Amino acid sequence: MTTPDKPINFIQQIINADIEAGQVGRVVTRFPPEPNGYLHIGHAKAICVNFGLAQEYGGHCHLRFDDTNPESESEEFVQAIIEDVRWLGFQWHGDVRYASSYFVQLYTWATYLVQQNLAYVCELNAQQMRDYRGTLTEGGKDSPHRDRPAEESLTLLEEMKQGSIDEGRMTLRAKIDMQSPNINLRDPVLYRVKKLVHHRTGSDWNIYPSYDFAHGQEDAIEGVTHSICTLEFAANRPLYNWFIEQLPVPSKPRQYEFGRLKVNYMVTSKRKLKLLIDQGHVDGWDDPRMPTLSGMRRRGVTPRAIRNFCDSLAVAKTDGVVDIGQLEHFIRDDLNRDARRAMCVLDPIKLLIANYPAEKHESFNAAVHPNREDMGTRELHFSRHLWIDRSDFSEDSSLSRKKYKRLVLGDYVRLRGAYVVRADQVVKDQQGNLVEIHASLVPDTVGANPPEGCKPRGVIHWVCADRSIECTVHRYDRLFSQPLANSAEQSFADCLNPHSLDVIKNCQAEAALADARVGEHYQFEREGYFCLDSGAGTDGELVFNCTIGLRDTWQK
RNA sequence: UGGGGCGUCGCCAAGUGGUUAAGGCAACGGGUUUUGAUCCCGUCAUUCGGAGGUUCGACUCCUCCCGCCCCAGCCA
């Protein structure tokens, strides 16, 4: 589908070796989002990698919610994530899975660890635990409760579970090594008390497992063979393995890490995205300016463009920042191939064809797509009164033909799909503002070259004033004016582009656009790619979102 | 100055001891074009973070150095 001989990445090499060594029968991967926000472009890569690997090796990929912390998780996010994964074009194997489905098993394993003297209930509070943990360069101190009898820990753990222990008072910790140079191994927390209602288990639990204690075991339960995550979890791998070794788990998954996708001018942090919403900088998770899958969908980005983009990215251990231009390339590439062509005048000014009878009307057939006859034709209406874009006309006849390929007073231009016309005179109001252009058409130039000596400067789009439909166009600019690369973390809110949304009212679109449907993509010729907005529009207003402008390579 | 990971063209990135150091994006030339789009052609790293070393031969092996990222949540 993509590059025929794309190099094999390091994970594929590992899988190949595993298969060759007979270590792995069927490859099983998983995409494990926490339902505490919407999916964004960064998740798209993880989805493509995990589902892609399963597809490639004829294996399975699970969709599993890592819902171990009810604090910020919700059913709304679960549903949104499910919809986004489907929209991106992937189907998980079997039912949607949840970490919360394994809570009982996880708890059983926790008691097993206590019985093996590998875990204990600790009564240090958060601050004390921090103090006991040591620092990056110095080891920590053993908790005073580290050697309490297993029976006592078991009783306390049961009390935590029953809800008789207050939040923050106790935790269940693994007994590993407080001197370990890897801080994750300094007796990590397995369970903490959280008296919260969980969106799936309700009030069944007063304690919830930590990520470290849950993730690997979830993988083991599901028979995941290759648990692929991002680089920041590399330091957790020894802990992941420790649980898999100590516990009687049904399978032994392995964790591999690759570089998380970052794109400049975009934020891919759920916390920051949430902030943008909470502070009112955008309308919501699906605001077309958001790098969320739902935002991009509403903006008009196709799932295939996102997939192609992700497939073009390497699965490697370097963590770079991809230029947003690369994403844009795949968006244009996909839209160019399939988008229906149409004309829409964003800043209309009247063009009166003086030598065309007032009562006359013609219609021409124009290709829906210039390079694809199979997409058929559409009907273009033509009459004496037309709309063209203000920026496509100039009174300055000294403008060179090379520099200005549009309509100039006294010169010719081609009306796309229709006649060649010449601008003859200009009508202005009291203030001297241009209100109308009078032109004359060159006969017999529809679908035919003009006579010798008549050289149109270029081609401009237009719309028949009698049949056009009014619409609103939303044009977007990047949400941030700074690349926000790497650690430009500081105050990302200060980098917001105040002009990220441009609402253009009273645009004039060709009649065929009255049939536009949500989910269809259009190219407004000479402008860009657009789609009908799926969000607002209850008042019958026709709103088109600009997905992305056409590539624009001429210097002004 | 603990541990882990990474450094190849402006960006992403192949390369696993012998290749003219892939490819994509961007950029820049030129051609086609009733979209300044698409499409097509061409240009774009004597050099692989740096310095040494091993070798007939190193981006690939060794040593040291420099730089960047991650880990001290009862977040994931």
The letter for the amino acid at A389 is D
Whether CB of A459 is under 7 Å from strand B: the answer is yes
How far, in Å, CA of A470 to CA of A468, rounded? Answer: 7
The letter for the amino acid at A269 is S
Say if CB A296 and CB A306 are below 8 A apart: yes
Q: Which nucleotide is nearest to A524 (CA to C1')?
A: B35
How far, in Å, CA of A523 to CA of A333, rounded? Answer: 12
**B39 closest protein residue (CA to C1'):** A371
Q: Which nucleotide is nearest to A69 (CA to C1')?
A: B75
Whether CB of A3 is under 7 Å from strand B: the answer is yes
Paired tokens of A106: 């996880």
Whether CB of A13 is under 7 Å from strand B: the answer is yes
A137 three-class SS: coil
How far, in Å, CA of A540 to CA of A476, rounded? Answer: 22
How far, in Å, CA of A462 to CA of A464, rounded? Answer: 7
Alpha helix ranges (H) inside A313-459: 324-338
Residue A398: partners with Cβ closer than 8 Å, 6 or more residues away: none
Residue A237 — φ and ψ, nearest 5°? -60, -45
Q: What is the 3-state secondary structure (H, E, C) of A204-268?
A: CCCEEECHHHHHHHHHHHHCCCEEEEEHHHHHHHHHHHHHHHHCCCCCCCEEEEECCCCECCCCC
Residues in a beta bridge with A191: A172, A209
The single residue of A133, A270, A332, A414 carrying the catalytic annotation is A270
A355-384 residues near strand B (Cβ < 7 Å): 369-371
Per residue of chain A (556 residues), give pLDDT as tens: 334 467 899 999 999 999 999 999 999 999 999 999 999 999 999 999 999 999 999 999 999 999 999 999 999 999 999 999 999 999 999 999 999 999 999 999 999 999 999 999 999 999 999 999 999 999 999 999 999 999 999 999 999 999 999 999 999 999 999 999 999 999 999 999 999 999 999 999 999 999 999 999 999 999 999 999 999 999 999 999 999 999 999 999 999 999 999 999 999 999 999 999 999 999 999 999 999 999 999 999 999 999 999 999 999 999 899 999 999 999 999 999 999 999 999 999 999 999 999 999 999 999 999 999 999 999 999 999 999 999 999 999 999 999 999 999 999 999 999 999 999 999 999 999 999 999 999 999 999 999 988 999 999 999 999 999 999 999 999 999 998 854 444 467 788 999 999 999 999 999 999 999 999 999 999 999 999 999 765 577 899 999 999 999 886 6
Whether CB of A5 is under 7 Å from strand B: the answer is no
Q: Which nucleotides of B are covered by protein (CB under 7 A)?
A: 1-8, 10-16, 22-28, 34-39, 68-76
A484-513 residues near strand B (Cβ < 7 Å): 486-487
How far, in Å, CA of A190 to CA of A212, rounded? Answer: 7
How far, in Å, CA of A227 to CA of A215, rounded? Answer: 9
Q: Which helix (H) or strand (E) holds A172?
A: strand A171-174
Q: Measure Cα distances from A184 to A188, A232, A237, A473 in Å.
A: 6, 12, 9, 52
Q: Is A34 a catalytic residue?
A: yes
A137-196 residues near strand B (Cβ < 7 Å): 137, 167-171, 181-184, 188-189, 192-194
Cα-based angle A136, A138, A140 (whole degrees, multiple of 5)? 100
Neighbours of A519 (CB within 10 A): 11
The single residue of A141, A200, A260, A274 carrying the catalytic annotation is A260
Mean pLDDT of chain A: 95
Q: Is A270 a catalytic residue?
A: yes
How far, in Å, CA of A453 to CA of A450, rounded? Answer: 8
Q: How many residues does chain A have?
A: 556
For residues A476, A477, A479, A483, the Cα torsion angle rounded to the nearest 10 degrees is 160
Contacts by A276-280 with C-beta closer than 8 Å and gap 24+? Answer: A276/A479, A279/A493
Task: Count how many Cα atoms sit within 13 Å of the Cα of residue A332 in the half-sphere of its side chain.
Answer: 13
pLDDT tens figures, A376-430 = 999 999 999 999 999 999 999 999 999 999 999 999 999 999 999 999 999 999 9
Whether CB of A387 is under 7 Å from strand B: the answer is no
Q: Is A26 a catalytic residue?
A: no
Region for residue A85 given its phi and psi (left: phi exceeds 0; alpha: psi -120 to 50; beta: otherwise): alpha
Paired tokens of A131: 């103090």
How far, in Å, CA of A440 to CA of A422, rounded? Answer: 5
